Amino acid sequence: MSGDLNAAVAAGVLGSEERFRELLRSVVEVARAIFRARASSVLLLDEPANELVFEAVVGEGEETLLGQRFPAGTGVAGWVLATRTPLVIEDVGRDPRFAKDVAEDTGYVPEGLMAVPLLSDERALGVLEVLDRQAKFTLQEMELLGLFAAQAAIAVDLLQRAREAEAALGGDGRLAVVARVAAALEGREDQAGARLLAALEEVLR
Amino acid sequence: MSEHDLPAWSLPSEAAPKIALQSNWPAAITHDWAYGDSTGAGARVCILDSGVEAGHPKVGEVQSAVVVTTGEDGEPRIDPDTEGDVCGHGTACAGIVRALAPEAEIHSVRVLGPGYTGSGKNLLAGLRHAIEQGFDVVNMSLSTTKKDHATVLHELADTAYFKRTVLVASAHNMPVESYPWRFSSVISVGSHMEEDPMVLYYNPNPPVEFFARGVNVEVAWMGGETITCTGNSFATPHVAGICALIRSKHPELTPFELKSLLHLTSRNVADRR
C-alpha cells in the first residue's frame, strides 16, 4: 500500500461513518414523508450477536429507539429479515408478542407497519420499516418502499465496508501495522521511504 | 396400463393407442365444473412455513406437524413439532387455505427454528420431506435468495411436478433474484387488490403466473388472534386453497392440467369466453 493510497483510505474511512449515518437518516426521513407516516426506521443485522439494531430512526420513538437492539430471530422484522420478504400488517398491535416488546422499549405501539428487507446480493443486511401511514395502502406503495429499500441497502453496504476498513486499519487490526508504516514513510521529506516501498513491491511481485 | 408396458423415453407407432386418455373436460370450462361443491375433502395441503397454530379458530385441526432443525452434525433433521407457530405467518397461510377449502387436511412443515436460523438448508430439507409425503399441494409463502440452493430447489420442484405435488410459491415483490417461484414447474403467485378470495388473474407476462387476493387480508395470527396483512405471502395460500378444491374434485389432474384449469378459470380469461 503506497502512502498516498493509505492516506486516501484513512481519510475516506474517517469521514465516512458520519456521512453514511446522514444518508441512512435521509432515507428514513424521505420514506416517512412520502408515506406520511408517524415514524420510519432502519434496523441493521449485527451478525456476530445475531441482533437487529436501530441505526436510523425518525418520528415517534426517535429518542428512545436509536441504538437499541433485539434478537434477530423474533417478531415481524426478524421474519422479514429471515425470509427476505416484505410484509405489511395493518393492526400489528394485535400480535401479542410484538405489542409487548415494542411497548416496553418505546411506550408506543404502532397500528400499522410496512417492513421490507435490505438486500445486497444474497445477503439480508437489515430491515426498513414505515410505521402508521396516513394514506391507504396500495400495491404501488409496496413497490415504492422496495425502491427505497434498494437505496438504503447500498448505503448500508458502503457503511459496513467502511467499518470493516476502519477496523482493519486501526488499533490491533490486521492491516494496522501496514497503515502505520505507510503513514510514517509518507511523512518523510526524502524519497527513501518511497524507494523502500517500491523495492518491497518489486520483491513481492 | 403399467408404466413398464412402454419404453420410458419414446413412443413406438403401435403404442399410441395404449396411452389413449379420456378427457372429461367440457367444451367450456366453468368455475362450477372446476371446483363447484368441493370442500377440499381428501386433499392434503402442506404449509411450509413458520409452523401452524393448531386449534386456532380460523385453522382448526392440523393433521400433522414436523419441524426441520439443524442437527449436531450440522445437517438438517426432522422431528415432530410441538411448538406450533414461532411467528404467526404460517398460521396466517393455513387460515386462508382453511377458509377456502374447509375440509382439506392441513399439514405443517416448519422450516424456521428458534431464532429463525438455518433457513436455507432447512428449507430444502423441508421441501424434500413434503414431496416425499406426497402432499397434493405445498404452500410456499417464502423464497430464498441463495444461488447455491437454486439448483437443488429446481430439481426438487421438478420432482414434485412429476410426482403430482403442486408447489404454489410466492413471487418476490422486490426486484431480486429468489427461488423457487421463478421456476416453471411451480405455480407462482402475486397480489391483486380485489376482495373476492376466489378471483384469480392469469398473467400473460410471467414469471409471475397468477394474481390472487393479497391486499388487506384478514388472517389468523399467533395466540388465537386475527390481524390484517398485505403481501404476496397471503395471495399464495388463496391459490393453494383453490388448488385443494380442484384436487379434491378432480384427483386425477397433474400439476400441468391443474395449472391449465387455473388459467381457464382466471377472471381475465374466463370472462372472455
Domains of chain A: 17-160 (3.30.450.40)
DSSP letter at A114 equals: E
CB atoms near residue A165 (< 10 Å): 18
pLDDT tens for A107-138 read 677 788 889 999 988 888 999 999 988 766 67
* Model ipTM value: 0.78
pLDDT, tens digit, for every residue of A29-84? 999 998 899 999 999 999 999 999 999 999 988 888 889 898 888 778 888 888 88
pLDDT reading at B247 higher than 90: yes
List, as ranges, residues 121-150 from B with C-beta within 8 Å of A.
141-147
Contact between residue B245 and residue B262 where contact means Cβ atoms under 8 Å apart: no
Is B22 part of any domain?
Answer: no
Q: Is residue B46 part of a domain?
A: yes
Residue B225's CATH number: 3.40.50.200
SS3 B188: strand
Long-range pairs of A49-54 with CB within 8 A, sequence gap ≥ 24: A50/B115, A50/B117, A52/A77, A52/A78, A52/A81, A52/A126, A52/A127
Interface check for B226 against chain A (CB to CB < 8 A): the answer is yes
- CA B120 to chain A, closest CA, distance in angstroms equals 9
Beta bridge partners of B202: B210
Residue B132 belongs to what domain range?
Answer: 40-270
Euclidean distance between CA atoms B46 and B135, whole angstroms: 6
Query: Residues in chain B, how many?
Result: 273
Would you say residue B3 lies in a domain? no
Residues B219-240 have a mean pLDDT of 93
Which position has the grid cell 430439481?
B155
Is B108 among the domain residues?
Answer: yes
Higher pLDDT, B4 or B15: B15
Judge whether B32 lies within some domain: no
Q: How far is A25 from chain B (nearest CA, A)?
A: 22
Cα(A30)–Cα(A28) distance, integer angstroms: 5
Task: Test B116 with A78 for CB contact under 8 angstroms.
Answer: yes
- What is the number of structural domains in chain B? 1
SS (H, E, C) B202-231: ECCCCCCCEEEECCCEEEECHHHCEEEEEC
Contact B119 A82 (CB under 8 A): yes
pLDDT tens digit sequence for B178-215: 899 999 999 999 999 999 999 999 999 999 999 999 99
